[in-house]
Structure 1
Amino acid sequence: MDLFPPDRLPLVPEAYLKAHKVNHPADSRFRTCARLLQALHREAAGWGIGTYTTASGRRRKMGHLVSVFDGAAGANFLNRDIQRLARRELAYREPGAMFEERRLYENLLSSTPLALNLLGPIKLDRNLAEAFVREALPDLAGRVCSVSFEHSPGRGDPTFTDDATAFDGFITLRLDDGRKAFIAIEIKYSESCGEPEPRMRERYDSLSASSELFIDPDDPALRRNPIQQMWRLHMLGQSMIDAGLYDAGAVVVIAPRLNDQVQRAVSQYRTHLAPTTTGKASFINLPLEDAIAALALAGAPDMARAITTRYVDFSPIHDLI
């Protein structure tokens, strides 16, 4: 008999959340469980607990944060190669790239270290990268040219979105037919697609119409949460094709299946999309679990298991309940 429904996580009793120092009433059900899962990993590993400063100036311990010492020692990265890659990416980041170093090193809940843990192995191994793309996105399989993080073709450049919008991960390829292509990746872990909405710009309106990606490019829903970020990322991807940088590409959202807020937002966004035609950036929902499976099939099963354990295996939560 299956005691734990595979399509949902539990409502965790407040006493457990307080005991593990992860009580945060504003959290969604998924974020609550994800925060608790990271606290349990920290405790099992013996890492010191980290703190943050509240708006009132008080220092508060939080179970999903590791100490400065353990963060610097690489707690947030699944092996030493990824830890070294993270340091290199920080040192050589694009001008204007937004890396919050404390979140990267000390926040186990952050999606930035997840991006490095998931995509770092394919940056370090071209053969693995090409095999990963064949497994995850076979329509874009080809010769991988580069893998980068926090990438934008031009922050503030009116050729594109005229803002600081960037992709968490970015893969460039040469397809078998010779076309230049990209895979632009947005990674969500516990986020809810409810981040502060940016100031609307005239460039957004013109791109929304000229991109020909949308059924109604003037629809106000595109400009509001929970889908405004997907709208901006998709337009950024299309603007790179229109500018002649690439011949084809896809904007890919990677998030856990059980993060229902992100999955609902993706489904809502897709209802606004016009039928895909040649020369248009496609929009793909790739569940995190499928991306991990593709990494395993590509030749990195040990890394896939480590990512699964750290981020999407919630059996420690079920055992606790």
Structure 2
Amino acid sequence: MSNTDSAAAPHSSSSKKRSKFVQLCRTPWIPERLLQEYGGLCSFDTTFRRAGRMLQICWMRDHNIPNAIPDGKRNTHLGSYLSPDAADAGLNFLTPDIHLLALREMLLRERGAAYDFDRAVANSLSSQPLVFNAFGPLALNLTLATNVFRQLVPSFVQSVEKVLFEHSPGRRVDDPARDNRWLADRSAVDVALHVRTPEGESGIIYCEMKYSEDQTGPAARWRERYDEALKQVRLYKDPNSPVLRDVAIEQLTREHMLSQLAVDNGVTRRAMFIAIGPRLNRRVQTAFQVYANELLPVDDNDRSRVTFRHFTLETFIDAIDVAGDQATADQLWQRYCNFQRVYEAALSLLAPNAQPAAADGSAGEGQLDRKQDDKPRSRRRSSARTKSDQVAAAPEANRHGQ
């Protein structure tokens, strides 16, 4: 089995039906004037994060979710942050059930788990709420989880039996830093799905999810143990390759090693490591592909080896739709992947009298209402307001290697 190819869409192997979700060919450029008007201006944003921030602002406005912009403030990025009252009400999550699940997981977190509570409940652009919004419905409905992953990895999944968040098998020991079976750090994956394979064996799918990250760090402090583990796990063409230590790649390296060590140390008989990210986030997709190219081919007869697969977020959402939960799929698409929406908003700003059309030539979905937001905002002080643009707009903090 090759580790160098991204996974195909769910429809490709089992159905001729075309997905109802159609993505743009590239990330639309968002004019600065539009970002200023809606409170999405951040000089440190990549092209994708800039568009993603605008998409989150659109989603918040659609659902009448107050933002954290102080009255009269301009030239801010806080339009994508929820007001304190909205954050407390759980409006960063798609449903009340997902909000409650997220609270329970954060309160009953594994020892050493590195949740950022404020980011999870108040930052709409963060991948932390995305993890709960995407995998929460699966954790609450294991039949749905089974149907989704039987599409994505049919050779590995017969059924999904449990879903864990912010998980590390290395936390099973009293002192990971002194236990050379693991990585001597706090490395963890976003999600771990306990599954039953078609052969009836127990297995675990370890998953890392990205959204707006630009793959520039912060990175974990490199440890001698990592150098040892790179050779120990027997996953890489060249364990000394500097690519595996690069800031854009090293998190994938650590988490894949951790997944392999889970098998080697008897936590599970079989495992797979997967990564999920938006198709239009080129930095994320490039990191996945570059990492895959560092891996040795996997012998199909050697079930002790942990394979790596990477999927687009669009493919994951499509699998949820095909599995029968169209409502959740539609919600995820509108919030995280409908970049047609921000393309049309930008077009309506630059050509207000033009009839908007989809980037693929089809009719558009209509212009964004560009009236100033006159909804009352909370008078409580938002923790987001006290942060600088650079801190608040930074990619997800490295919660794994510290």
What band does the TM-score fall into relative to the shorter chain?
over 0.9
Question: Equivalences for 1:15-94 in 2 at 5 Å?
Answer: 15-50=33-68, 62-94=78-110
Specify which of 124, 132, 138 is matched with residue 108 of structure 1: 124
Q: 1:267 aligns to what SS in structure 2?
A: helix
Q: 2:79 aligns to what SS in structure 1?
A: strand
**TM-score normalised by structure 1 residue count:** 0.93
Partner of 1:315: 340
Question: Equivalences for 1:126-165 in 2 at 5 Å?
Answer: 126-155=142-171, 156=176, 157-165=179-187
Letter in 2 for 1:246: T
Aligned pair 1:236/2:261, yes or no?
A: no
Q: 1:138 aligns to what SS in structure 2?
A: coil
Q: 1:154 aligns to what SS in structure 2?
A: helix
Q: Distance in 1 between matches of 2:113 and 2:98?
A: 19
What's the CA shift for 1:257? 0.3
Letter in 1 for 2:120: L
**TM-score normalised by structure 2 residue count:** 0.75
Specify which of 242, 247, 256 is matched with residue 225 of structure 1: 247
What's the CA shift for 1:43? 2.4
Aligned pair 1:95/2:111, yes or no?
A: yes
Q: Distance in 1 between matches of 2:123 and 2:147?
A: 30
Runs in 1 of length 4+ with deviation above 4 angstroms?
none
Letter in 2 for 1:77: F
Q: Distance in 1 between matches of 2:77 and 2:32?
A: 16
What's the CA shift for 1:229? 0.8
1:268-311 deviations in whole A, cap 9, x for unaligned? 11111111131111111111111111111222111011000010
Q: Distance in 1 between matches of 2:63 and 2:326?
A: 22
Specify which of 312, 327, 330 is matched with residue 287 of structure 1: 312
Specify which of 225, 228, 233 is matched with residue 203 of structure 1: 225
1:166-194 deviations in whole A, cap 9, x for unaligned? 11011011223232211111000101121
Q: Distance in 1 between matches of 2:77 and 2:50?
A: 16
Letter in 2 for 1:310: R
Partner of 1:14: 32
Letter in 2 for 1:194: T
Q: 1:310 aligns to what SS in structure 2?
A: helix
| More off after superposition, 39-48 vs 306-315 | 39-48
1:181-215 deviations in whole A, cap 9, x for unaligned? 11111000101121112111121111101111000
Letter in 2 for 1:151: H
Q: Distance in 1 between matches of 2:327 and 2:122?
A: 23
Q: 2:315 aligns to what SS in structure 1?
A: helix
**Alignment check: 8 A CA contact 1:21 1:61 kept:** yes
Letter in 2 for 1:206: E
What's the CA shift for 1:61? 6.0
Aligned-residue RMSD, C-alpha: 1.8
Q: Distance in 1 between matches of 2:206 and 2:232?
A: 20
Q: Quick one: higher RCO (CA 8 Å, sep 6+), 1 or 2? A: 2
Percent identity of equivalent pairs: 35
Letter in 2 for 1:26: F
Partner of 2:391: none
Letter in 2 for 1:94: E
Q: Distance in 2 between matches of 1:292 and 1:95?
A: 31
Q: 2:180 aligns to what SS in structure 1?
A: coil
Q: 1:41 aligns to what SS in structure 2?
A: helix
What's the CA shift for 1:51? 5.5
CA gap 1:160/1:246 in 2 versus in 1, 3 angstroms: same
Partner of 1:56: none
**Alignment check: 8 A CA contact 1:238 1:280 kept:** yes
**Alignment check: 8 A CA contact 1:89 1:149 kept:** yes
**Alignment check: 8 A CA contact 1:215 1:274 kept:** yes
The count of corresponding residues between Structure 1 and Structure 2 is 312
Q: 2:111 aligns to what SS in structure 1?
A: coil
Specify which of 269, 280, 285 is matched with residue 258 of structure 1: 280
| More off after superposition, 124-133 vs 108-117 | 124-133
What's the CA shift for 1:45? 2.3
What's the CA shift for 1:6? 2.5
What's the CA shift for 1:40? 1.7
Specify which of 162, 172, 179 is matched with residue 194 of structure 2: 172
**Alignment check: 8 A CA contact 1:50 1:61 kept:** no
| More off after superposition, 74-83 vs 136-145 | 136-145
Partner of 1:304: 329
1:36-94 deviations in whole A, cap 9, x for unaligned? 11112222322222269xxxxxxx66111010101111211111111111111122111
**Alignment check: 8 A CA contact 1:181 1:246 kept:** yes
Q: 1:140 aligns to what SS in structure 2?
A: coil
Q: Distance in 2 between matches of 1:41 and 1:214?
A: 42
Q: 2:248 aligns to what SS in structure 1?
A: coil
Q: Distance in 2 between matches of 1:126 and 1:316?
A: 32
CA gap 1:258/1:89 in 2 versus in 1, 3 angstroms: same
What's the CA shift for 1:140? 1.4
